[in-house]
Amino acid sequence: MIFCELNQGNLFSSQLSPRMLDKKEKVLSEAFNRFVKDGVKNTTIEKIAQDLQMSKKTIYLMFRTKEDLLIASFQWKLDHMAKMGEGIAMAEMEVVSKLLALLEAIHLELKDITMNGLFSAYPFKSRTSSILEDYLRGAVFVRFKKIFEQCHSEGLVDSKVDVNSTMLMYWETLSMFIFARPAGRPTEVTITRPFNEHLNIQLINFFRGFLNAEGIKKFDQELANHPLLKGFYA
């Protein structure tokens, strides 16, 4: 549904030649890197075209506007993360190991993103933020929910915890922070840590806080084996 909306009036992926598909992949990769490095407001189609040594016309054949390219580039990244997350969720390993493996993978995937640079001073349109939120929910949040449900079914979560309401509460808090809704992050707040570190501090403390004594023991034992993550537990 999202891809149909984005490609309306453009060249559909099925109509692109292998050469154009390869170019499209390069455009999405370069655009994502530009957006996270320079911020959305400072990124232009012209800069992306110059970096790739191609014409702006070629990019506009694929994406009508910068807004469409922004959404598509994040979909491209989140698609990759979704496949990675599904692989971890389906793997034959202890559920706590799955949880930490997913946290570590996300940490590495998002290492170049800084919250202040990415969306700073950018007038987010409701269509854009809504699509990105929906995609983020499908790519990452659903995988966390699946693993957390498994923790609950294996008796590692406090018996009083309702998984659905707990995960919904966390999603709403996180999405308000990321997309700076009026009730979310105050505009005067400056984030000094990289986004992936800030996210993992939240996620590790959030999930650990709902585990019972046995779950915490397993979580802490596993966390000690993850040098990238163990420093984020406060």
Q: Is the pLDDT assigned to residue 200 strictly greater than 60?
A: yes
What would the mean pLDDT of 29-57 be, rounded to a whole number? 90
Architecture of domain 2-232: Orthogonal Bundle (1.10)
Q: How confident is the model at residue 124 (pLDDT cuts 50, 70, 90)?
A: low
Per-residue pLDDT of 3-23, as tens digits, reads 333 333 343 344 556 777 788
Question: What number is the average pLDDT over the span 175-188?
Answer: 53
Tens of pLDDT along 55-95? Answer: 999 999 899 999 899 989 988 888 888 888 888 888 888 99
Give the residue among 59, 67, 65, 74 at the shortest CA–CA distance from 113.
74
Question: Alpha carbon of 134 to those of 14, 165, 189, 232: distances in Å?
Answer: 24, 18, 25, 27
* Mean pLDDT in residue range 142-154: 88
Query: 78 with 135: CB under 8 angstroms?
Result: yes
Looking at every residue in the chain, the average pLDDT score rounds to: 77
Distance CA 155, CA 11 (A): 50
So what's the pLDDT on residue 82?
A: 81
**pLDDT exceeds cutoff 90 at 194:** no
The two tokens of residue 85 are: 């997350």
Going by C-alpha positions, the residue among 92, 195, 225, 75 that lies closest to residue 140 is 75
Say which residue, 4 or 42, is predicted with more confidence. Answer: 42
Q: Which two tokens stand for residue 49?
A: 């075209």
- Domains of the chain, residue spans: 2-232
The pLDDT value given to residue 9: 36
- Residue 27 in contact with residue 55, Cβ under 8 Å? no
9-28 burial string, b = 16+ CB within 10 Å, else e? ebeeeeebeeeeeebbeebb
SS3 217: helix
Residue with more model confidence, 195 or 183: 195
Q: CB of 136 within 8 A of CB of 78? A: yes
Q: What is the CA radius of gyration of the chain?
A: 19
One-letter amino acid identity for 201?
Answer: I
pLDDT, residue 168, reads 82
CA distances, 20 to each of 16, 23, 49, 77, 206 (Å): 6, 5, 14, 19, 43
Alpha-carbon distances of 229 from 38, 135, 198, rounded to whole Å: 27, 25, 11
User: Residue 219 corresponds to which tokens in the numbers above?
Assistant: 């979580």
Q: How confident is the model at residue 49 (pLDDT cuts 50, 70, 90)?
A: very high
Q: Does position 111 have pLDDT exceeding 60, yes or no? A: yes
The answer to whether 40 and 70 have CB atoms below 8 angstroms apart is yes
Provide the pLDDT for residue 123. 58
